Amino acid sequence: MLNDAARNRAYRRAIDAAVSDPSARVLDIGAGTGLLSMMSARALGAVGGEGRGSVSACESYLPMGKLTRKVLRTNGMENKVKLFHKRSDELEVGVELDSPADVLVSEILDSELLGEGLIPTLQQAHDSLLVKNPKTVPYRATTYGQLVESPFLWKMHDLHSNEANAADGVWLTPDGMENIVSVKLQQHAMQCDPLEDEIRLLSEPFKVFEFDFSERPESQRENKITIKTTGDGCVHAIISWWVLQLDSAGSIFYSTAPKWVRQSTIKDLPQCADGWLNNQDFCHLK
């Protein structure tokens, strides 16, 4: 991720736009190496906020936190970022934080978007650590999916075929029931672009759900989706990806969509004049 220049440029632009008040108080949750914290400190200095605004960061994994301190010191920012070796739900306003934060920056996203405890983290932050109606980077995310036919991907789930190579020779699938009980549903995070020749698309991309970082999220939500197929075939997998809207103005996007989606002209997928503004080429299989 640190070598993903497109992602880092997008975050820097969005942070520069969000940290526009000299007295802004910024909180970086899951600081990692401190990259977003340093971007925030630099943005705060650019608007004359040094001495009035503040940047606080938390990183609970101690070895990473030690690296964060080293990175901050190497870049001359050890006095511009307050770093806490704690989880965000262990922070308290009036103890670690002088006051609720006006701006939240974070990159605790996985290939499914929400898998790294994002919902409870944001719930607690909105309840206890942030002002009402804070600025957030990212601002919003949308997940998409697409039905595909792919014997290659199907074999990754096929218990019967995998049993054929089992060293102990024990078969768990009764004869004649392979098509009923042989499929074990799994999820895989992987690069999808190299699999393009192994995939036949059976639907257009469809929107799964939207997630707003600037509001307290719900714990449970369900969406019922009717998907129209574009051809005959067997749906072996669903490929999913997400698109981040990093700024509230809707001008900075970052996508993990596979390249065949970026090359299409889907109306409701955000694009810029040069195509996808940013891309990580990483998606998720179900």
Q: Which residues are catalytic?
A: 107, 116
Pairing of strands 130-137, 101-106: parallel
Residue labelled with tokens 């042989």: 182
Instruction: Determine contact, residues 92/125, Cβ cutoff 8 Å.
Output: no
Tell me the three state secondary structure of residue 28.
Answer: strand
Nearby residues of 68 by Cβ (< 8 Å), 6 or more positions away:
31, 32, 33, 34, 37, 57, 59, 83
Strand segments, DSSP code E, in 72-129 are: 82-84, 101-106
Run of H or E including 146: strand 140-149
Per-residue CA distances from 13 to 101, 183, 255 (Å): 20, 45, 15
